[in-house]
Amino acid sequence: MPGETNLTRLLRTMQPELQPGTYVFCTVTSLDGLEVADIVGLFREQEGLTVILPQATADRLALPYTFVAAWLTLTVHSALEAVGLTAAFARVLAEAGVSCNVVAAYYHDHIFVAAADADKALRLLQQLAATGAAE
């Protein structure tokens, strides 16, 4: 089934969900010692591998990190070629002083915000969904 591309439908049906736990971004030179099941996200950069992990996993492996995040998932199946969804929710969060780190996966968009901002971000995303307006 193809993903949704209509911005209004995406916004109205995005149904943000707060995932349990806290997450961190770490950089490593290899995946030795990491279990694939523990990795939430992985991206290869010139400087090394960025891994998104549960904070407890990073702590157990003594991996350094600087940002403790909450993970919100937009449960709508958004098409990778959809235009405007990221801009719409990033604008709303930015206007409220909430930074966001976005991972667009095949089915859903995932938003990592400072753990202290989790409830605020969830509320803002729910309000955006209720209005369905990208402005």
pLDDT confidence band for 134 (50 / 70 / 90) = low
Tokens of 48: 């090394």
| Res 10: pLDDT | 85
pLDDT confidence band for 8 (50 / 70 / 90) = confident
Kind plus residue range of the DSSP H or E element containing 131: helix 118-131
pLDDT at residue 132 tops 80: no
Alpha helix (H) residue ranges in the chain:
7-12, 55-60, 85-95, 118-131
CB 5 within 8 Å of CB 13 = no
Tokens of 89: 């929710």
| Res 9: pLDDT | 85
Alpha helix (H) residue ranges in 13-117:
55-60, 85-95
Question: What residue segments make up the domains of the chain, in order of their start?
Answer: 7-131
pLDDT single digits (tens) 19-73:
999 999 999 999 999 999 999 999 999 999 999 999 999 999 999 999 999 999 9
CA angle in degrees (0–180, nearest 5) for 25-45-125: 45
Tokens of 119: 């409830």
Instruction: Report pTM.
Output: 0.93
CB 135 within 8 Å of CB 26 = no
CB 116 within 8 Å of CB 77 = no
Backbone angles phi, psi at 103, to 5 degrees: -125, 120
Helices 118-131, 85-95: crossing angle, 10 deg rounding: 130
CATH 3.30.2130.10, applies to 7-131: yes
| Res 135: pLDDT | 55
Exposed / middle / buried, residue 29 (Cβ in 10 Å: 0-12, 13-18, 19+): exposed
pLDDT single digits (tens) 72-105:
999 999 888 888 889 999 999 999 999 999 999 9
